[in-house]
């Protein structure tokens, strides 16, 4: 088992990865019944090398629902009929999650509506009031 290289500085070492093959679910006849093609890949998040503290927090937040009882990231793949392609797919999923955690979210800047936008909003509310007033019986106007 080799390490998962995410970028020049970030990688998941082979020692942090645990792989188990099991039988996949779903249709497929004899192939499904006798061949262990589903891959269950576990990654120790603490062992990932090169992650900044912020990226580590983002990664933990991203995968919070995928953590097992030991705090390891659990990724499964049973897309294909072969164990090797499912292993590559699971490794790609881990890589994509780490890449997503590396990207800093852009901070939201509070903005105020323009004068025109405010005026259009008020005009729309007034127009709506006129429509509702026209629906009333003629003697009910105040």
Residue 124 has pLDDT above 90, yes or no: yes
Helix ranges, 21-80 (H): 30-34, 53-62
In tens, the pLDDT along 69-80 reads 998 999 999 988
pLDDT band for position 91 (cuts 50, 70, 90) = very high
Average pLDDT over every residue of 113-142: 90
The SS3 of residue 67 is strand
**Domain 4-102: assigned CATH number:** 3.30.160.20
Q: What is the pTM of this model?
A: 0.73
The SS3 of residue 35 is coil
Note the pLDDT of residue 6: 87
- State how far the alpha carbon of 82 is from the alpha carbons of 28, 40, 58, 59, 75, in Å: 12, 14, 32, 29, 17
Query: What is the percentage of the chain residues whose pLDDT exceeds 70?
Result: 97
How far is the first Cα of the chain from the last one, in angstroms, to the nearest whole number? 81
Residue 99 has pLDDT above 80, yes or no: yes
pLDDT band for position 140 (cuts 50, 70, 90) = low
Task: Tell me what the pLDDT averaged over the chain comes to.
Answer: 90
Q: What is the DSSP annotation of 79-136? A: SSSSHHHHHHHHHHHHHHHHHHHHSPPPPP------HHHHHHHHHHHHHHHHHHHHHS
């Amino acid at each position: 088992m080799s390490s998962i290289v995410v970028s020049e500085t970030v990688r998941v070492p082979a020692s942090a990865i645990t792989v188990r093959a099991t039988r996949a679910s779903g249709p497929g006849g004899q192939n499904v019944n006798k061949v262990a093609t589903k891959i269950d890949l576990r990654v120790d998040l603490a062992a990932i090398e090169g992650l900044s503290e912020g990226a580590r927090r983002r990664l933990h937040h991203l995968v919070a629902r995928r953590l097992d009882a030991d705090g390891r990231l659990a990724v499964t793949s049973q897309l294909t009929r072969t164990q090797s392609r499912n292993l590559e797919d699971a490794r790609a999923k881990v890589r994509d999650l780490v890449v997503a955690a590396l990207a800093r979210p852009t901070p939201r800047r509070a903005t105020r509506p323009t004068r025109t936008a405010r005026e259009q909003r008020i005009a729309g509310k007034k127009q709506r009031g006129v429509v509702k007033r026209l629906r009333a019986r003629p003697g009910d106007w105040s």
